[in-house]
Amino acid sequence: MIEFHLDTRSGVAPYLQLIHQVRQALRLGLLREGDRLPTVKEVAGGLAINPNTVLKAYRELEYEGLAAAKPGVGTFVTKTLTDDSIAAHAPLREELDEWLSRARAAGLDDESIEAIFRSTFRPQPQEDAV
């Protein structure tokens, strides 16, 4: 079982936050195949959020093949994500660590590093620029 929380200052839509938390719990092995997700009523009542928000998140998880609804019983996890988890991507992480050390050595502070990452990460409709 998972307990959701909501960060209203994050600017991330609440339904996306729920999805992220399920994915995160799957990656970390906190949720496994066969586990039941809390009911819509439980989540809506617990977080004081709109039930449609929870439904939307669960529908999206179903669409992604991560969960399936059993009518009258609940929504269940149908997949485990631990295999392609962070552990499996250790080399990528190491490269990023190296890059971060180089960036810090070059005198960049956290904010500048984030700015570089964000501006590079942005998907590219830039081509038709200028």
Where do contacts with another protein occur on this chain (CB under 8 A)?
6, 8, 11, 13-14, 40-41, 44-54, 125-126, 128-130
Cβ distance to another protein smaller for residue 74 or 79: 74
* Spatial distance between the Cα atoms of 60 and 99, rounded to a whole number of angstroms: 34
Cβ proximity to another protein: between 46 and 108 the closer is: 46
Report yes or no: 78 and 33 within 8 Å, Cβ to Cβ: yes
Q: Tell me the two tokens of residue 9.
A: 């200052």
Q: With respect to another protein, which residue has the nearer C-beta, 7 or 83?
A: 7
Q: How far is the CB of 117 from another protein (least distance, A)?
A: 15
Q: For residues 35 and 63, is the Cβ–Cβ distance under 8 A? A: no
- Minimum distance from CB of 51 to another protein (Å)? 4
Backbone angles phi, psi at 69, to 5 degrees: -90, 130
CA angle 91, 92, 95 (to 5 degrees): 90
In terms of CB distance, is 13 or 88 closer to another protein? 13
Min. distance of Cβ 104 from another protein in angstroms?
26
